[in-house]
């Protein structure tokens, strides 16, 4: 009696290697895209720092007006006129020849003055907020 041998050799191994290769390729592509996004964010770190410093300058400007008499804002706890970048020369801050600027918004509620200062540099915007309590 002759035995009939079926030759199924290597098909399962080939299929499993292709599946594992596809999984490794997709993981590499996802890791590469995430790394690319991080590199893009790091490229604009200088503008981000300038925007943070400009927003801080806005908070310092309002702090000066609150704690020192004789500022252009008569009573900061009533209303603060908004300062915006292109309109007000006081809101422009210079860093090594590159200009950054800040915009200020305020809201007052039950003796608490909330100041939001937006710092701009290039396409980067950073926002800082400070609260002052009127006692």
This model's pTM is above 0.85: no
Total domains in the fold of the chain: 2
Beta bridge partners of 6: none
Domain co-membership, 31 together with 59 = no
* Same domain assignment for residues 71 and 102: yes
Q: Which two tokens stand for residue 104?
A: 């200020």
- The answer to the question of residue 23 being in a domain is yes
Q: How far apart are CA 109 and CA 71, in angstroms?
A: 22
- In this predicted model, what pLDDT tens digit does every residue of 49-96 receive, in sequence order? 888 988 898 888 888 877 776 666 555 555 555 555 555 555 556 555
Q: 35 lies in which domain range?
A: 10-43
Give me Rg for the CA atoms of the chain: 30
Q: Residue 121: is its pLDDT beyond 80?
A: yes
Regarding whether 81 and 17 lie in a shared domain, the answer is: no
Mean pLDDT, residues 39-55 taken together? 82
Q: In the predicted model, what is the mean pLDDT of residues 92-112?
A: 71
Measured in Å, how far apart are the chain's first and last C-alpha atoms?
Answer: 107
Confidence check: pLDDT of 14 > 60 = yes
Asked, for residue 1, whether it belongs to a domain, the answer is no
- 34 with 51, same domain? no
Lowest mean pLDDT among 14-23, 33-42, 105-114: 105-114
Q: Are residues 115 and 52 in the same domain?
A: yes
- The set of residues, in sequence order, having a beta carbon less than 8 Å from that of 107 and lying 6+ positions away, is 113, 114
Say yes or no: 61 and 32 in one domain: no
Considering the domain architecture, whether residues 17 and 64 belong to the same structural domain is answered as no
Q: What is the DSSP secondary structure assignment for residue 99, as one 8-state letter?
A: E
């Amino acid at each position: 009696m002759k035995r009939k041998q079926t030759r199924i050799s290597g098909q399962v191994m080939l299929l499993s290697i292709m599946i594992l290769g596809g999984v490794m390729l997709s993981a590499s592509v996802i890791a590469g895209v995430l790394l690319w996004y991080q590199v893009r964010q790091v490229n604009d770190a200088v503008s981000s720092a300038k925007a943070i410093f400009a927003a801080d300058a806005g908070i310092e400007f309002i702090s000066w007006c609150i704690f020192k008499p004789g500022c252009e804002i008569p009573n900061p706890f009533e209303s603060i006129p908004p300062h915006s970048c292109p309109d007000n020369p006081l809101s422009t801050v210079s860093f090594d020849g590159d200009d950054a600027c800040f915009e200020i918004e305020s809201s007052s509620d039950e003796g608490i003055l909330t100041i939001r200062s937006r710092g701009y540099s290039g396409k980067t915007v950073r926002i800082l907020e400070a609260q002052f309590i009127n006692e």
